[in-house]
Amino acid sequence: MWKLQVHALLDGYELVDHLDESKEVPFETITFGTTTSPNPEFTKWRRQDRLIHNALIGSISSSVQPIVGRTTTAAPIWTKLASTYANPSRIHIRVLKDQLKLYTKGTKSIDEYIEGMTIRLDQLAFRDSDLEHDDQIEHILEGLPEEYKLIIDQIAAKDKTPQINEV
């Protein structure tokens, strides 16, 4: 969620290139003839990058900060945090998929059950391992008790798989 929030914010300000290095860093100086002077584009880039660098360090917990303590620009922070925390491990994805199979309504209200399923499905999607829509609905229906059989049969009989909020 942190990654999503930070990326969306910087994208909104058209500064996301500081994270992914999609735009080349301007040269520090520019030369016209025999005169070399500071490049105003570099000055602007450096100021923006230092502010982003500061914001990234300030937005992570103090226990994580030492991991990025030697960085001097925003991109290495982003890269280091992504390689350390954002790579979805196969085991974590497997655990989430197993949770989906085992998650049932039980004594929860139908709203609590659907919310719990949606959270698990969203966690998979955040890890680039989302399920097809039909499979998502299938998991939701499989966790319902026998008393929902009539509703399950009605949903199964539809020509088009309904959206989760329709279920």
Q: CA-CA distance, 28 to 46, in Å (whole number)?
A: 9
| Residue entry with tokens 């300030």 | 58
Most distant CA atoms of the chain, gap in Å: 85
pLDDT digits (tens, 9 = 90+) for 2-60: 888 899 999 999 999 999 888 899 999 999 999 999 999 999 999 999 999 999 999 98
pLDDT at 70 over 80: yes
Which two tokens mark 32?
A: 């016209």
Q: How far is CA 149 from CA 118, 119, 141, 152, in A?
A: 21, 24, 9, 5
pLDDT at 134 over 80: yes
- DSSP H or E stretch at residue 30: strand 29-32
pLDDT at 157 over 90: no
